[in-house]
Chain A
């Protein structure tokens, strides 16, 4: 009999010490462009990538004039402050100005020992209003979600909460949220349902980062210089895709976009590639590899073909077949039914 297929969790557990040295930088690139109106979650696998995600979210929120509320659980207050300070945040000054607040997630969510989603949503809405009342651009909130495991919160309630609060945030428009989930502590099946409840879901690990934005996926894999875009890019996901390409261009290198698994790209997607290519430094290029027929058709009809900053290749050139395995296969092997159920 074959041994059971290893789940993503076990696969990552075996490799959590193999995170490449740039894991935090890569994780922070995945947060690019997340702001007011977004309800994002991240599934991190080690302290390095968690740091990268949090630092970028916090720095962007603070620089953008939002009040940042950090609800901690797994880390101590000192550890969080040290992490932000290492990213150049003036934690003392921001706290004194009332722009940075830290608190206990367990206390916030289960004030009387009971998780009450409606009460928490109401409180966050009040907090957002008071942040704006105090003159801040809005409220950014990031939470270490381990509290849900330790308080044995009902997973169904948690999923319902994440769904509802996403709609509340979208309607409010002044709240940015990043929910931090330990990929190795939460069961895979629950984690996937939670990811579905967010408008943007980032998974990081030894293999790289994969972000799901509606029907679009953006992956940055370990050892691959560039991005893989898959699924469907439309007006909902295009701004995020644009921000991610911008992150790479800021690194001063050509950006190779592997589009082989892209099934749909609207006119805005082509426009994004063309506009970004137009404004590039003359020695930089955006390279589209394996562009799907629909994208080539748009480029042709709009007469947006090749230009100095844009190279369109129909077929991805694969030099190393072993490296050609799709980033999106990482989600496929799954622990399955064994993982379904309440958090341990």
Chain B
């Protein structure tokens, strides 16, 4: 393993703030060429790093880093990012563990791979966009988001240029010319979801009907043959969404439940307005003890889609996949 070039690593660097950079690479070789220097530089500077990518890439990075791999934390994006709304919480945990006192941190996160569905891609792009808000105040956090231009659709790569202020490609880094800006990152997501099927079970939600809401979700979850623990999880999640409708959504809402292939889908809609774009992605502070509903929903369900329809209101759709 060659030594790190001395010129590339001054002993100290000025605080970088949050540097959110898309890395456009081609194939596995391109991935390693783009990520290894970034990791080695951080190791030389004694900066903690967390890498959240696919298991095969973790193996290749470990191999290439050799002994130095012990300075880097690795996590499986297929697990962490199954619901993209859980990725920011993972970075927050990393901050809490390693970033005390504004210590510079590095991260590599690859939430998008070729097999991601269209619905998942929407949530992944939203996640990338919200990262700009989530860590806007970070003292020194360099986050590299690899995009495989040989495997991903051109539209996906184009969207990455809009969600990242910095782009690294062909060996150089430049500011993205089409970054959509910080304001756009906080805008509500209005893209409509595919409508619930006509055969979906529909139930009104109000303070007196919570028990019926739970019973309906339990019935469908049993029919979907979810494991008992996962039935408990989805019942708890939908109960929180319904409670939000009662408390924040004008006192009432509507539940739709249906099966999509082997997955159970539950959607809660109401007249409320989700005002905090990062709701459910930041662990509420001690004083905000009332904001735990969406946080839990994101952690309990396999996939969560939140929308603000153009006419107003709030829609949250959660999916639990069969095993």
Contacts and interface: CB of A to CB of B under 8 A. Distances in A.
Contact of B235 (A236, A264, A268, A298): A264
B214 A267 contact: no
A234 interface: yes
24 contacts: A214-B208, A214-B210, A215-B211, A234-B210, A234-B211, A234-B239, A234-B243, A235-B243, A236-B208, A236-B210, A264-B214, A264-B235, A267-B292, A271-B292, A274-B289, A275-B289, A293-B229, A297-B233, A297-B236, A301-B295, A301-B296, A301-B299, A302-B292, A302-B296
Given A271-B290, A302-B283, 13 more contacts: A215-B211, A232-B214, A234-B214, A235-B210, A235-B243, A235-B246, A236-B210, A264-B214, A264-B236, A267-B236, A268-B243, A271-B292, A297-B232
Given A232-B214, A235-B207, A266 B236 contact: yes
Interface string B290-310: 101101100110000000000
Report, nearest first, the 10 A-B pairs whose CB atoms are least far apart: A215-B211, A234-B210, A235-B243, A267-B292, A302-B292, A266-B239, A236-B207, A294-B232, A301-B299, A267-B240
Interface of B: 207-208, 210-211, 214, 229, 232-233, 235-236, 239-240, 243, 246-247, 283, 289-290, 292-293, 295-296, 299-300
B58 to A, nearest CB: 26
A297 B299 CA distance: 11
A73 to B, nearest CB: 30
Contacts of B236: 264, 266-267, 294, 297-298
Nearest to A215: B211
A302 B293 CA distance: 10
Nearest to A275: B289
A267 B210 contact: no
A265 to B, nearest CB: 9
A76 interface: no
Contacts of A274: 289
A265 B214 CA distance: 11
Contacts of B290: 271
A324 interface: no
A268 B246 CA distance: 13
B199 to A, nearest CB: 28
Contacts of B296: 267, 298, 301-302
Interface of A: 214-215, 232, 234-236, 264, 266-268, 271, 274-275, 293-294, 297-298, 301-303
Contacts of B232: 293-294, 297
A40 to B, nearest CB: 15
B90 to A, nearest CB: 14
Contacts of B239: 234, 264, 266
A297 B243 CA distance: 18
A143 B217 CA distance: 40
A234 B236 CA distance: 10
Contacts of A235: 207, 210, 243, 246-247
Nearest to B228: A293
A267 B298 CA distance: 14
Contacts of A303: 283
B222 to A, nearest CB: 15
A267 B211 contact: no
Contacts of B295: 301-302
A235 B246 CA distance: 9
Nearest to B284: A302
A137 B127 CA distance: 49
Q: Which of A235, A274, A293 has most chain B Cβ within 10 Å?
A: A235
A269 B299 CA distance: 18
A293 B290 CA distance: 22
B207 A271 contact: no
